[in-house]
Chain A
Amino acid sequence: MNTFYATNLLIYAGVDIIALLALNLQFGVSGIVNFSFIVFQSAGAYAAAVLSMPPDSNPDYSFQVYFGGFQLPFPLPWVGGALVGGLLAIPIGFVALRKLRSDYQAIALLVTSIIANEVINNARPFLNGAAGLALVPKPLQDQLDTQADYYPYLLIGLTAACVALVWFISARIVNSPYGRSLRAMRENELAATALGKNPVAMKMTIFVVGGTIAGLSGAILVGYLGVWAPSTWQYPETIILFAALIVGGRGNNLGAILGALLVPVGLEEVTRLMIRMNLGPPNLIPALEWVVIGLCILGFLWFRPEGVRPERRRVFEGSPDVELVESVRAT
C-alpha cells in the first residue's frame, strides 16, 4: 500500500464521515429526508473552488469560465464553503420544509437535486457548465511544496481535525436537550408541537447546520481532488449516503461513522478491486455496485431497520421498565 493510495482512502473516509454526521443530524436525528444533500456538499465545493482560484482571466485558467476567483488564502475557502452550504439551506428549506407533508418534502428535495444539477450543467458561464472546474488550488499551495513527502500527512491531519470538530459539534447537539426535542419531532411531530416545540423552526435550524457541515465536506474534497463537475454530484450520490446511514445505524454518531466506513469507503474499495480483476464487461461492475447499494437499503430496511449499531434508547431513571415500554409499543 503506497502513500498515495492511503492518502486517498483516508481523505475520502474523512469527507464521508463528515457528510454522514451531517446527514445523521438531518435524517437520523430529526427525520428530514434530505434527498438534496449532495447539492449542499457541492455548493461548498464550488464555493471553496471559486474562493481559492484566480479569476478566469488568468492565462493558466482561461480554458474555463466562472465567476469570482478571489484567490483567498487557505482556511478561508473551507470556511466559505461551509458558509455557502449553510446559506443555501435557507431558501431550499424555506420552500421544502415549511408547509409540506414529510413525504412531499423528500420529493421536493429530490427534484431540487436533479434540477440544480441540470441548471449548473447547462449554464456554462456560471461555473463552467458540464466541464466543471479544474486546477482548484490545494490548501496552502502557495506556502508549501505540495509534492513534498509531508504534504499528504498535512492534508490528512487537516481533514482529521475537521472530522473531530464536526463530531464534537454533532455529539453536543445529539446529546443536548435540543437533540431530545429533535428526536421527539422525528418520532411524533404532532405530539412535539403539542408540547410547545416549533417543528418548522427546528427543521430549518438543523437543515442549516447540516448544510453548513455538508458544505465543509465538499470544500475539503475539492481541495484534495482539484476538480469539481456536475457529473460528480448527481442525485444517486445522496442515496449512497442514505444507504450508509441505514446500514450503519440511524440517529447515533457512531452508527453514522460506521456506515461511512462500510458503504462509501468499503464498497468503493471492493469495487475498485473487482474492476482490477477485469470481471465481465466494463460497465458491469460499476452498475452492479449501485444494485448492491439498492439491495443494502432494501435488505437493512427489511431485516434490520435499526442498522448495524442501533440508536441507544434513552430512558430516564424512574421511568417505567424498558421492556414494559417495548411490549406496549409492540401491541
Chain B
Amino acid sequence: MSIFAAAFGFGLVSMSVIALAAVGFTMQFGITNMINLAYGQVMIASAYVAYYLNRAGVTIWAGMIAGAVFGAVFSFLLNRLVYAPFQRKNTSLLGMVIVSLAISLMIANVLLPIVGYFSVSYQEHGGSLVRIGDIVLTNNQIVIIVLSVAIMLGIHALLRYTRLGKAMRATAANPTLARNCGIPTQRVIDMVWLITGALCGVAGVVAALNSDSFAIANGAGFLITALAAAVVGGAGQPYGAMIGAVVIGLVTELSAAAWSPEYKEVVAFALLVLVMVLRPQGLLAKRGALAAAG
C-alpha cells in the first residue's frame, strides 16, 4: 500500500508541474487560436537559462525567475515576429501548426550546438525530507506544489476578477466583437503571450528541477504531457487544463508505481487517445471557451 501512497505524493508534484505547463499552452490556444507546438522547446530553453545562471552560482529560485522572464520575452517576440504576421496573412489553422512545428525544430537545433546532447542537472539539494503519513517529499517538491497552487489561484483571479482577464475572455470568445466593443485586442494578445510565456518558462525550470536531469531531447516529452493535459480537459480552457493535469499527473505516477516508469508518457498518450475517441471536445467543453468557473 505504501508504494501507492508514495506514488500519490509524486502524483501531487507531477500534476503541479503539468498544470503550470498545460495552463499556459491552453491559454495560448484558447485566446490567440494558436496551437504552439514550439512550447516544449521554449520550456527547455528556459530551463537552460536557469541552468547557466545556477552554474554561475545563482540559486535555482532566482534562476526560475530568469527563466520566466526569458520565456515571456521569447514567446512575445515569437508571436510578434512569426505567428502574428502569418495569422494576418490568413494562413490556415493547419498552416499555423506546420509553422509552429518548424519553429520548434529550429529552436531545438539552434540550442543544440550551444548546450550539447548531454544531460545536465541543477546544483541544488532537494532539501530535507518531509513525511506526511506514507507520503515522502523533499522540501523542493513541497515548494513546487505550493508555487503551482499559488499560480493557479493567480490565473483564476486574473481571469475572473480583473479587467484584463475579462478582456482576455472576450477576445477568446469573439475577437472581432471584442475589438468593436473597444477592447484593445492587440494589446490583450501581447499580454497573453507575455503571461503564458512566463508560465512556460516557470514550467520548464520546474519540470527540469523535478526530474533528476534534463537534456535537449526532453522538449518533445514536455510538449506531449502539456498537450495531453490540455486536450483531456478540453483545449483552450484553463480550468480544463488544470483538471487534465490532475488526471494525467495522478494516472501516470500511479501507473509508474504499478507497472513501469519507462511508460509514463505512453500512459498519458493512452489517456489522450481514450479522450479523443470518446469525448473529442475534452472533459470540460460544454462550458465554452474560457468561461469562468462557477
* Contacts from A to B (Cβ < 8 Å): 31, 33, 35, 95-96, 99-100, 102-104, 106-108, 110-112, 114-115, 118-119, 122, 235-236, 239, 242-243, 246, 281, 283-284, 287-291, 293-295, 297-298, 301-302, 305
Contacts and interface: CB of A to CB of B under 8 A. Distances in A.
Given A122-B262, A302-B86, A33 B109 contact: no
Given A111-B227, A115-B266, A283-B116, A297 B98 contact: yes
Given A103-B93, A295-B106, A235 B99 contact: no
Interface string B27-47: 000000001010000000000
Interface residues of B, number: 43
A151 B289 CA distance: 61
Tell me what chain A mostly uses at the interface: helix, strand, loop, or mixed: helix
Contacts of A290: 105-106, 108-109
A147 B263 CA distance: 43
A100 to B, nearest CB: 5
A301 B106 contact: no
Contacts of B266: 115, 118-119
Nearest to A100: B280
Contacts of B98: 33, 106, 242, 246, 297, 301
Given A95-B277, A115-B266, A122-B263, A110 B37 contact: yes
Contacts of B231: 104, 107
B292 interface: no
A118 B265 contact: yes
Interface of B: 35, 37, 82, 85-86, 89, 91, 93-99, 101-103, 105-106, 108-110, 112-113, 116-117, 220-221, 224, 227-228, 231, 235, 262-263, 265-266, 269, 272-273, 276-277, 280
Contacts of A107: 35, 37, 97, 227, 231
B86 A301 contact: yes
A95 B276 contact: yes
A295 B117 CA distance: 22
A297 B97 contact: no
B82 A298 contact: yes
B224 A114 contact: yes
27 contacts: A33-B94, A33-B98, A35-B101, A100-B276, A102-B94, A103-B97, A106-B94, A107-B37, A108-B276, A111-B227, A111-B228, A111-B269, A114-B221, A118-B265, A235-B220, A239-B102, A246-B98, A283-B112, A287-B109, A289-B109, A290-B106, A290-B108, A290-B109, A294-B102, A294-B103, A297-B98, A298-B99
